[in-house]
Amino acid sequence: MTSINILRRGLLLGSVAMLGLGFAPLAASADELATIKEAGVLRIAMSGQYPPFNFVNEKNEVVGFDPAIGTEIAKRMGLKTEIITTAWDGIIGGLLANKYDAVVGSMSITAERDKVIDFVGPYYNTKRAIFTKAGSPITSVAQLATAKVGVTLGETHEQWARDQGYNINTYKGLPELLLELQNGRVDAIVNDSIPVMLAMKAGQYDLAVVEDPTAEPIGAGIAIREGNPELAAAMQKALDEMMADGTYLAIAKEWVGGDIR
């Protein structure tokens, strides 16, 4: 997702304190990779509300590009995978609280996040995009100043919209965000470009794109706790090998229709 608030450190540590961790998260132990390997399972988190990157199918299974990537990385590390779904706006707090080992959930790599967590990757690239219903009178970014704008709670797009001073509504995930736009409860939505464009291509929604000349490509990375160079190296090695041997491209074609590196 270019996803989650660009969390300011003070706010994030405040939320961490509410989780009972004190003033700041402890650095991960140097042997965390060994601990994970001993358990035999890599616990990965995502929202489960970001199709086609991660979502719950009709069999109540969490599927999509993100779980496929995370599962393949774990496999190459000799590990099984446990997928945990959680609310996006608390996903970093959960990582710091050791509720899972990594976030493989389309998290944008930002300087603010990098102050409290480390990243592996990026494993794909996307950028911010603005969408309205087809035929909407809103055709420029300037018109958003008087519009109701929908964003997903906890994503970088929420913080961007707040920084612009927009009148916003927040939602739990992309399906709800798109439904609210379709039903006219918001005039425009701000989201990563890829998943919405794919929904439009599939004929699920009749939307228009509002050109945003300030939007720049941004990488999505795998988030892990700080102080884990061995874990980071092992995950990066697995990711690099996937990209080199064609496995990554096969997964990308299956879930998003092409290469998104």
Global pTM value: 0.84
Q: Do domains 9-125+219-256 and 128-210 have the same CATH topology?
A: yes
Average pLDDT on 224-251 reads 98
> Is 53's pLDDT higher than 50?
yes
Q: Report the C-alpha gap between 86 and 48 in whole angstroms.
A: 8
> Is 3's pLDDT higher than 80?
no
pLDDT tens-digit series, residues 70-121 = 999 999 999 999 999 999 999 999 999 999 999 999 999 999 999 999 999 9
Q: How many CA atoms lie within 13 A of 210 on its CB side?
A: 22
Asked whether the bond before 52 is cis by omega within 30 degrees of 0, the reply is: yes
The three-state (H, E, C) secondary structure of 197-215, written as one string: HHHHHCCCCCEEEECCCCC
Who contacts 163 (Cβ-Cβ below 8 Å, separation ≥6)?
none
Q: Identify the CATH number of the domain defined by range 9-125+219-256.
A: 3.40.190.10
Per-domain boundaries in the chain: 9-125+219-256, 128-210
**Fold category of 128-210 in CATH:** D-Maltodextrin-Binding Protein; domain 2 (3.40.190)
